[in-house]
Amino acid sequence: MLLSYVQLSACDLCGGVGSNASIGIFAANQFHLVGWRSQLRSFDSYLYGIKHSSELYWQKDLTFRTQFGRKVQVYGAIPFQVARQKTDFNTTVTQGMGDPNVLFTYALIDRKDSLHVTQDFLNIGLGVKMPLGKSGNYPVDLKNLYPGTGSWDGLFLANYTHRIGTRFSFQAEASHTLKGADQTSFRYGNSTQVSSVFIYNQKVNSSRFISSLGLQQDWFAASSYQGVQLTEKANNGYVGSAKASINLLTYNWLFSIQAQKSLFQELSQGAVQQKFVLGLSVHYLIKKKQHEKNNH
């Protein structure tokens, strides 16, 4: 989503929505961060065009970001997820730790003006999601409800930020996730995400108010089982969404609210519809020590 962390859902639930990495609008900042974020995602599932169930996913992550020198950043997250599926007859709840992930990024371009304000910033990233979370076995379990996928996934990312005047920035981001197979040879399809946002920031007393508004498009390839691509409920498709965030950056804290609403979508041949995504996060900023600054 929009914040300065790896946005990665451990489980490719209901069509793999939210399964790509994102480092978000604070990519060009050089704080060390530790934090907590919470995200609510809602879906409806359909059978023969009639609503059959509703799914709600509540994911909480412990996150960190650290900076090595001026160019290298490391992002990481340990997720915990509670998923609920409600049908006409019963409610199923699955919860547990998700798959932790780590992403290394390198700043290819970091152009600053005479006041040392970043004007252009291009970051590229490489990461991995580790199958350490709780995962289900296809086709016995409701695999999409589980917090982990049971697979090693490779993450690739590029993020470009351009400053426009004193208060606006534009950011474009693209990411791709290469999915591995789990122990039963089930493999979610690879996914790609592109997004662009306009960012507005304004100083308010000793804090900074930062908001963003943009668009995001996700594509998901079909899942496969034992090497054969699934033809039904294959988690493939696309989602186009509008997204927005409001952030308050104080001396040591970063508070954020994010929202995402799909504009058009086609997931699992129409069997799944994403309704909304809401997020809330709090991060503690660890300022760089003086000798670190001097070294730069």
Partner 1 sequence: MACIALLLVTSCHKGDATSATIDIMEPMVNDTVAYDDSVHFEGTIVGDGTMYGYKLTYENAATGAEYMSFPSEEKAKSYAFHEHWHNQVMDTTTVTLKVEATLDHKGTKTSKLIQVVCLPQ
> Footprint of partner 1 on this chain (CB under 8 A)?
46-52, 88-89
d(CA 29, CA 117): 10
HSE toward the beta carbon, residue 184, CA cutoff 13 A: 15
Closest CA to 236 of 202, 270, 206, 260: 270
Question: In angstroms, rounded to a whole number, what is the distance separating the alpha carbons of residues 284 and 251?
Answer: 9
* Whole-number Å distance between alpha carbons of 99 and 134: 8
CB of 86 to partner 1, least distance (A): 10
Q: Which is nearer to partner 1, 69 or 139 (CB)?
A: 139
Asked whether 3 and 25 are in contact (CB, 8 A), the reply is yes
C-beta closer to partner 1: residue 84 or 176: 84
Tell me how far, at minimum, the Cβ of 50 lies from partner 1, in Å.
4
Closest distance of CB 268 from partner 1, Å: 14
Of 94, 99, 79, give the one whose Cα is nearest residue 39. Answer: 79
The Cα 121–Cα 30 span in angstroms is: 12
CB 36 within 8 A of CB 293: no
CA atoms 21, 25, 31, 33: torsion sign:
negative
Give the three-class secondary structure for 257.
strand
| Cβ 92 to partner 1 shortest distance, Å | 13
Q: How far is the CB of 44 from partner 1 (least distance, A)?
A: 11
The residue (of 88 and 251) whose beta carbon lies closer to partner 1 is 88
Residue placing its CB nearer to partner 1 in the complex, 6 or 271: 271
Which lies closer to partner 1 via its Cβ, residue 86 or residue 289?
Answer: 86
> Based on CB atoms, which residue is closest to partner 1, 48 or 251?
48
What whole-number distance in Å separates Cα of residue 150 and Cα of residue 179?
10
Shortest separation between residue 232's beta carbon and partner 1, angstroms: 12
Q: Exposed/middle/buried for 202, CB within 10 Å: 0-12, 13-18, 19+?
A: exposed
* Residue 147 to residue 225: CA distance in whole angstroms: 19
**Residue 226 Cβ, how far from partner 1 at the closest point, in Å?**
20
**Of 29 and 54, CB closest to partner 1:** 54
Between 47 and 282, whose beta carbon lies closer to partner 1?
47
For the bound state, the minimum distance from the C-beta of residue 87 to partner 1, rounded and expressed in Å, comes to 8
